[in-house]
Amino acid sequence: MSHDFICLMCPNGCHLFCHSRSGGIVEIKGNQCDKGLAFARSVLKGAELSSGARLVPGQGRVTFSADDLRLIFAQWGLVFRGLRPHLTPEGSPERTVFRAVIEDDKGSLFILEQVDPAIFHTKMKIIRTLALLSERGLPAIVPYCFSKEGQAIVRHGEGLWQVVPFTPGVRLDREAYLYEAWRGDVLSSFLKGLRDKAQGMPAFAGDEVFSIKRYIYSLVAQIQRHQPRLAAEVRAVMAFLEQDLMKVHDVLPVAFCHGDFHPLNIVWGKEDIQAVIDWEFLGVKPEIYDVANMVGCLGMEHPSSLTGPLVCGFIGQLRQEGVFAEASWRIFVEFVVALRFAWLSEWLRKKDEEMIALELDYMRLLIAGRDEFCKAWKLPGNTVV
């Protein structure tokens, strides 16, 4: 038995991972407090738990010897030459139990990762998706390697492991890149390609469409119960979203999306995208999801970038290509605001008061500047039909 879900016991919104172990134990990871254990039990409702089963918190991150890594690495038919500790893989380290860059005997570099068994099925969806997108010729896709036995995820001891080629990149100049027009061109090209190549993804047939609307209402309910002073600030943002977005959300066009498309989930080259990484939130969502998340993240770096050449070129190219429906563009600013609730949940989980305040300020800036942004981005009106 494996499950993953968002804890609703407090506004932290922890992402919980539950996995059955031997001896009637269900291990839970991701909770920041004991309320996560209680919430996991309420979700599982006892029916999924064997008689006498008990929930226990998971263990922290671990390290491995070179001999351990050599044995694991060999399952892919690769010869371990050594670790490359000066190389840091892009993307979030929180999405693996352990990871390291390893050089083989031919001088090639790979990322070896241990993954949490609780998210095995999610990882397999990612692996299958990247393999299919690569086969279909989508650039900037780096598929995972398969072992000598034809497995993408292999077991060693009690751990599950995967290997992917290491892709070197160029570090972002966090001030200059926001205004570089060429990045908007390559970002729009990637999303257009993703839309073309991701048609009929078999791994997602029949999956429920992710609803940011439902997510927001759930998060706001938690905030109202546990942080009434913060709830007053959130209500003003909700009023803006309920004018238009919430009325049409459920009938917006949907498509397969990366789900966490932002600048730091890209391995950049000097003039192009080398790889798009961290696909953990992939799935069927409102089609404009990835565009809105990217624009929101760029503006969070510096609001002036929202009307700069990168963002305007990014949006302009997508509109020129006709990649997304006018109905999606009509509520685009609202959707950018809506996706900031996912980031607000992250700051709540981490109890980062400074970022919570900054996120709310950013939401208010987007709302106040809506007409200015629509003009700069040449967007249609948002009349709800």
Span 78-120, pLDDT tens digits = 999 999 988 988 887 777 888 899 999 999 999 999 998 888 9
Q: Are 114 and 13 in contact (CB under 8 A)?
A: no
pLDDT of residue 349: 87
Tell me which of 38-42, 152-156, 221-225, 319-323 is least confident.
38-42
DSSP one-letter code for 50: P
Q: Are 12 and 344 in contact (CB under 8 A)?
A: no
pLDDT of residue 51: 47
Question: How many Å apart are CA 235 and CA 159, to the nearest integer?
Answer: 45
pLDDT of residue 378: 96
pLDDT of residue 4: 62
Residue 196 pLDDT exceeds 60: yes
For residue 162, give both structure tokens.
């995967």
> Between 272 and 53, where is the model more confident?
272
Nearest C-alpha neighbor of 90 from the set 28, 14, 171: 171
Residue 37 pLDDT exceeds 50: yes
pLDDT of residue 134: 97
**Quick one: average pLDDT of 132-161?**
95
Question: How many Å apart are CA 89 and CA 99, to the nearest integer?
Answer: 8
Q: Are 377 and 292 in contact (CB under 8 A)?
A: no
Tens of pLDDT, residues 362-383: 999 999 999 999 999 999 865 4
Question: How many Å apart are CA 125 and CA 132, to the nearest integer?
Answer: 11
Residue 46 pLDDT exceeds 50: no
pLDDT band at 125 (very low <50, low <70, confident <90, very high): very high
Tens of pLDDT, residues 240-267: 999 999 999 999 999 999 999 999 999 9
For residue 182, give both structure tokens.
């060429």
Residue 33 pLDDT exceeds 80: no
**Quick one: average pLDDT of 150-165?**
94
Domains in the chain, please, with CATH?
A: 2-57 (no CATH), 66-165 (3.30.200.20), 177-377 (3.90.1200.10)
Nearest C-alpha neighbor of 219 from the set 327, 122, 29, 359: 359
Question: How many Å apart are CA 132 and CA 75, to the nearest integer?
Answer: 23
For residue 348, give both structure tokens.
């709540």
Share of residues in the chain with pLDDT > 90 (%): 70
Share of residues in the chain with pLDDT > 70 (%): 83
Question: How many Å apart are CA 80 and CA 83, to the nearest integer?
Answer: 8
Question: How many Å apart are CA 188 and CA 202, to the nearest integer?
Answer: 24
* Residues paired with residue 55 on neighbouring β-strands, in sequence order: 26
pLDDT of residue 202: 75
